[in-house]
Each structure stands twice: as structure tokens, then as C-alpha cells.
């Protein structure tokens, strides 16, 4: 099931979550994960207080993912993929894909080869994104 959601609606969705995990990829192809606070400002996610490893990863590989875990295990996680760039002391992330995700119940079956979990895609309007 897909429901089109604007970036304004994404901002409202973010209010349900306390923090996110930022995932970047290092030189050794391993995932680097840190807990962050991210806010949506002018259609861009902003993350402050980055460590040196996160900063180095974004410079060489700007594709990033933010994951907001649910407060209750039966609720959805929010997963946002995007293109990150560093500006001064903050990371800006231009969202390219967003999905609300939770595991399917064991008796749930899918049709049409879709996700076997309970997912709701939050389409993000395509726009020209340049990394710096």
C-alpha cells in the first residue's frame, strides 16, 4: 500500500519520534550508526553535532539513511533515505525516499511480490540534488 505524503506531512510524522539513527558507510564498506536528533527545515533534514567518522563518511559517500525507531514495538519505524552534504557544523539531508515500516504479523501473506512486512511508502517529490 502506498500513500503519497508531502514533505510537510513528513514533518508532522517526525513529531511522533524522539530520536533517529543515522547510517553512513565507511571506507571499509561497513555501516557506521549513530543516534541523532534530526529536524526538517525547508524540505531538508538537519543533523548537528556530528563526529569525525560520520563527517568523513558523508564526504566520500553522501548517500545516508535515517531510521526513527517506534516508541512501541507494534508501531512503525520511519526510514528516510537521502543525499547528505556538510554545511559548516551540520549535515543536511535531501530526502529521496521515506517509508513507514513494521514487521508483518506471522499469519500475514502478501500478494504481487510486495514487501512481506507492513510498509507504507511516503513518496518524496524528485528534485535536483547536488552534494557538496
**Residue-wise pLDDT tens digits, 57-105:** 999 999 999 999 999 988 889 999 999 999 988 999 999 988 888 877 6
Q: Which residue did the predictor score with more confidence, 108 or 11?
A: 11
Cα dihedral 36, 49, 47, 128 in deg (nearest 10): -140
Please state, as a whole number, how many other Cβ atoms lie within 10 Å of the Cβ of residue 106: 5
CATH of the domain at 32: 2.30.110.10
Closest CA to 25 of 73, 75, 63, 79: 63
In a domain, 127, yes or no: no
Instruction: Identify the pLDDT of residue 107.
Output: 58
Which three-class secondary structure state does DSSP give residue 20? strand
DSSP state of 104: P
Q: Per the domain annotation, does 2 fall within a domain?
A: no
How many separate domains does the chain show?
1
Domain hosting 108: range is: 7-122
Q: What is the pLDDT of residues 11-56, one digit of tens each?
A: 889 999 999 999 999 999 999 999 999 999 999 999 999 999 999 9
With respect to residue 67, please indicate whether it lies within any of the assigned structural domains: yes
Amino acid at each position: 500500500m502506498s500513500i503519497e505524503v508531502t514533505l510537510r506531512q513528513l514533518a508532522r510524522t517526525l513529531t511522533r519520534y524522539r530520536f533517529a539513527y543515522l547510517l553512513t558507510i565507511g571506507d571499509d564498506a561497513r555501516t557506521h550508526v549513530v543516534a541523532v536528533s534530526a529536524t526538517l527545515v525547508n524540505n531538508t533534514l538537519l543533523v548537528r553535532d556530528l563526529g569525525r567518522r560520520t563527517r568523513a563518511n558523508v564526504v566520500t559517500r553522501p548517500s545516508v539513511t535515517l531510521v526513527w525507531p517506534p516508541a512501541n514495538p507494534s508501531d512503525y519505524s520511519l526510514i528516510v533515505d537521502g543525499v547528505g552534504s556538510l554545511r559548516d557544523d551540520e549535515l543536511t539531508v535531501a530526502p529521496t525516499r521515506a517509508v513507514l515500516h513494521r514487521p508483518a504479523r506471522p499469519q500475514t501473506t502478501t500478494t504481487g511480490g510486495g514487501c512481506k512486512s507492513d510498509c507504507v511508502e511516503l513518496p518524496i517529490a524528485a528534485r535536483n540534488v547536488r552534494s557538496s
